[in-house]
Amino acid sequence: MKENFSVSLMCMDFLNIREQLEILNEQVGMYHVDIMDGHYCKNITLSPDMVKAFKKVSKVPLDVHLMTTNPELWINTVAEAGADIISLHAETINGQAFRLYNQIRELGLKTGLVLNPATPLSEAAHYLGRIDLLTIMTVDVGFAGQPFIEEMLDKIAEAKRLREENGYHYRIQIDGSCKPSTFKRLMDAGADVLILGSSGLFGLDQDLHEACRKMTESYRKALEGSEVSCGL
């Protein structure tokens, strides 16, 4: 079941990074690292130096999400810092998508694509076959704690259909408001990986061991009777 979860490290307690990562290493399948430049979205979060620090403790892959206006300026830097997957926004790579994905592959890393809520899958139709991880934003970029955008359930279902019809291999990951009240709808729509932040994990309990237990239990309950296997 841990492979169904990624954790947004921008939501963790930065006074206890090592302790929290050591707990999470046993609970989740991936870490999600948001790098924002303050321009593409009006916030600044993590950095390549933080990626380097996380890498020293992490036992799971690091998915680095570049919320940057010029992602081409960041790829080599985050690769050297320890990224395992580099996820680029469709809205920032028009005119250079194939070149950038070739660059990521040449660095020996996996490729990711991120779509904002208002960006249709058709925007990336020609390179969906080149990606390993498709992240669908279910909130607008930049800030944690936003309400879930219901219309994205149809986009998730469309992404799953396109994968099946074309033989694509990407996993479908959801970024935004992944929590007990949305778990079942997201997985039933076709999600493979849920990114957990404040509402889905850290806000469930001050004790991270207990927060993980509550998250896992709520996930099991949400998927009882669902057509989606929870990996048990």
Nearest to 134 by CA among 123, 149, 146, 142: 123
Q: Which two tokens stand for residue 107?
A: 């660095």
Q: What are the angstrom distances between the C-alpha of 89 and each of 6, 24, 44, 119? A: 18, 26, 16, 10
Contacts of 175 (CB under 8 A, 6+ apart): 8, 32, 65, 114, 135, 136, 137, 138, 139, 195
Active site residue 175: yes
Q: Is residue 63 within 8 Å of residue 94, measured between CB atoms? A: no
For the annotated binding site for a divalent metal cation, the residues are 32, 34, 65, 175
Active site residue 13: no
Candidates 37, 49, 63, 175; catalytic one: 175
Q: Rounded distance, CA 39 to CA 44, Å?
A: 9
Backbone dihedral region for residue 38 (phi beyond 0: left; psi -120 to 50: alpha; all else: beta): left
Candidates 13, 34, 132, 205; catalytic one: 34
Q: Rounded distance, CA 24 to CA 28, Å?
A: 6
Q: What's the angle, vertex CA 112, arms to CA 130 and CA 54, rounded to 5?
A: 145
Q: Which residues are catalytic?
A: 34, 175
